[in-house]
Chain A
């Protein structure tokens, strides 16, 4: 399938989305909610592009638009840039204190008039849903987008500590705006209103993971962990056995 992007022709595979094709060919299209390996979510709308097909032109989110043979794509027209600026403007109003969004606004030259900006607002989430997707991919499904309209947010059922959450922290890791709080102190990890007791390594005592995560791993591997060891100590254990074996050889 041949697709013309900004005047150059690229060949794509069936089922591929426009954004995937563009990323593969190192064409810059901004995005917040796209992650390689996940199907496009189409939530942040920053990856908007213009698609010309026959006589008609339309604006689409490239992360969810499957390519078709013969289409022409424009990624940086005045129209598109203006629309992206509008989106960033709205995101800036939602999360006025978020460093990442502020940087993005600066890059695009977006300034919000102070009468719109509520600097007291403590919000970092842009509701892109990447965390929800990551949790789903892990098979835990502990969090979800809840409510509608202005009360929409990411949370566990009824904001309670979810029994499905294993405390792995992948949601916090994939979040583009660092909106998810993961606190680790005194041998405890607190995330999504749930407090996990961290497992400490039986050899060195370093707190390294939650029991739920280790159970999850055991389940997938079909084994039972005999001893809780952090990665440095498992390495040391193998090293020691190597040492013993070599000692006998010499």
Chain B
């Protein structure tokens, strides 16, 4: 069963520790711009939405990558970028319908969540459990429920 990051915007306090953790673990710097997770603030309604790669089943980024630098692990479901193979055409950045891929010119490479090989540091450091790492296909088929809940949302964005 694939595990993934589950977000609860109602629990997020907007402290942005996840952004700093990600950028520090991956790029040795505390720069939210180099982070694969971003918190979008909606102060007027008191909501903060942490956004990160959804590790899609049929990833657009992988489809447009002609050099095979992006692969999806069939076991863990993680969509990973091989920096050695990447030629920097940045098509994946434009192709992601959720905008969850960015390009860092400082590191000359794309920034994308790879779930830290099964131990996402953002989840570990989140003080309010707004991001959790858990089984996506639980016995209650939660994933399907969520998908139904958001069908109108994602239907408009994804194909």
Contacts and interface: CB of A to CB of B under 8 A. Distances in A.
Interface of A: 35-38, 134, 137-139, 168-170, 173-174, 208-209, 213-214, 216-217, 220-221, 223, 229-247, 249-250
Contacts of A173: 87-89, 108
Interface residues of B, number: 41
A231 B87 contact: no
Interface stretch (B18-26, B98-106, B134-142): B98-106
A169 B90 contact: yes
A220 B63 contact: yes
B159 to A, nearest CB: 6
A250 to B, nearest CB: 6
A206 to B, nearest CB: 12
Given A36-B82, A236-B40, A238-B98, A217 B66 contact: no
A86 B103 CA distance: 38
Interface string B73-104: 00000000010110111110111111111100
B157 A209 contact: no
Interface in B33-88: 38, 40, 42, 45, 47, 49, 51, 60, 63-64, 66-69, 82, 84-85, 87-88
Given A209-B94, A238-B157, A241-B150, 8 more contacts: A138-B66, A208-B94, A213-B91, A221-B63, A221-B159, A242-B9, A243-B49, A246-B49
B1 interface: no
B66 A139 contact: yes
A16 to B, nearest CB: 16
